[in-house]
Amino acid sequence: MPTETRPEFDPEAYLQAGLGLLDLTIEPNWAPAIVANLKVLQAAAALVGGFALPDEAEAAPVYEA
């Protein structure tokens, strides 16, 4: 099975693309905090996405604590 290679995550480009897509403007001094948050979210997503599930795993219909 071929492995998928993804380009390295660029939070600055992601921010600019999102702003353009949603036609939003932000204060320039907010950008560093947003970029930092995107880096944290990307790291968390990589952990979740990298967790291998067995083929027989099923989604839980209801979560109960």
pLDDT of residue 1: 55
Has this prediction a pTM greater than 0.85?
Answer: no
What single DSSP character describes residue 23? T
Distance CA 30, CA 65 (A): 36
CB 42 within 8 A of CB 9: yes
Per residue in 4-59, pLDDT (tens digit) is: 787 899 999 999 999 999 999 999 999 999 999 999 999 999 999 898 888 888 88
Decide: residue 45, CB within 10 A, 0-12 exposed, 13-18 middle, 19+ buried: exposed
Distance CA 44, CA 51 (A): 11
